[in-house]
Amino acid sequence: MLKRFYPDLYLTSAYQIEYEKLYEEGYRGIIFDIDNTLVEHGAPADERSMELIARLKKIGYRIFLLSNNKEPRVKLFNDAVQVSYIYKAGKPGVKGYQKAMERMGTDASTTLFVGDQLFTDVWGAKKAGIFTCLTQPIDPREEIQIVLKRYLEKIVLFFYRQDCIRNGKQFLMGGSK
């Protein structure tokens, strides 16, 4: 039952993903969550996020932002990176993911998702059939509703870790947990 929430990759940061390798494997579109995945919650795009998006575009990726936030927040970030986006996406519902793939011209087999939350980001992407990369949140200070979900995520990640150990798979790439 919990496996529906397990990410395909679990990394300390979106900035350490081997995007070139994934491109060689046939991925052409990346859907990103913004808050606590690329920047701290509510922050505008910073130099690091702008450089990452520019690098990914240069590789040949189509980039899409998918956020449950309101448009002013998503637009603030997107003004600096200039990609497509959907706000109030309704994650973990699959419609936003499907619309993002349609607009990028990709499908589930050529798209990957990068986000920091299991019960919205990862679960929604998995329901859409997309390869999922879970990242640790950038900033541990979060809104109370997210803090509560983080306690439940710890339970899922405990069992995910056990599953990784059983299957000889690395649990957290780039980290020590």
Q: Which domains, from first to last, does the chain contain?
A: 2-166 (3.40.50.1000)
pLDDT mean for each 10 residues of the chain (177 residues) = 89 94 97 96 94 98 97 96 97 97 98 95 96 90 71 85 84 62
DSSP, res 116: S
pLDDT attached to residue 156: 85
pLDDT attached to residue 76: 94
How many angstroms separate the first and last alpha carbons of the chain?
Answer: 23
Asked if 80 and 65 count as a contact pair (C-beta separation under 8 A), the reply is: no
